Amino acid sequence: MTWRAWLPTFLVLTSVLVGALAWVRGRPVAPVDVEVLAVASPRILVAGEAYHVEAGIEVPAGRFERRFYVCVRGRCVQSGRQRLDGPAEWWGYVGTIEVPEGRHTAGVTVHARTVGPAWRPVARYEWEVVARDAR
């Protein structure tokens, strides 16, 4: 069979995969449900030095789990997950940024889920950082 003959199969498989992912993600948390209260991180920093990112979020009534991704230069690192009984605020460490000299975009993505297997990004905050030479 030629590649063209397999095209419908590809499309069906892709649809099945996307559908399965949508199903696994389960009951969504609306973006308005989780609010970013603050993100504290330097904008001007020293290249090659590690800086912590602290943040606060607020979740509505219900039982949630949260986790964070801190992304710099396309590389994302996840911090630990924690269960929250809302309505509640949570404040603390969400990740670390460390960049070479130059201008970069950093970002924090908050993921939340209700009880179940499905994580969903619910908020994202981005900022520009400028790293100067360490010398």
Partner 1 sequence: MTRGDGLALLAAVAATLATAAAIDRGAALPPVDAARVAAAPPAPCPTAEPVLTGALDAPVPLPAGDEIGLYTDAALRFPACGPGRLRLAARGGRSGDHGAHLVVTVRDRVLWDGEVRERRELALDVPVAGWVTIAFVNDLYRPPVDRNLYLDDVAFVPTPAGP
Task: Catalog residues that contact partner 1 under the rule CB under 8 A.
Answer: 1-3, 6, 9-10, 13-14, 17-18, 21, 31, 35-46, 49-54, 56, 69, 71, 76, 91-93, 107, 109, 111, 119, 121, 123-127, 134
**Please, which residue, 42 or 62, has the CB nearer to partner 1?**
42
**Please, which residue, 62 or 118, has the CB nearer to partner 1?**
118
Residue 38: closest CA among 112, 119, 108, 120: 108
How far apart (Å, rounded) are the C-alpha atoms in residues 12 and 98? 42
> Closest distance between partner 1 and the C-beta of residue 63, in Å?
20
Query: Tokens at residue 73, please?
Result: 């230069």
> Closest distance between partner 1 and the C-beta of residue 46, in Å?
6
C-alpha to C-alpha distances, 86 to 26, 44, 66, 96, 109, nearest whole angstrom = 19, 35, 11, 26, 19
> Closest distance between partner 1 and the C-beta of residue 123, in Å?
5
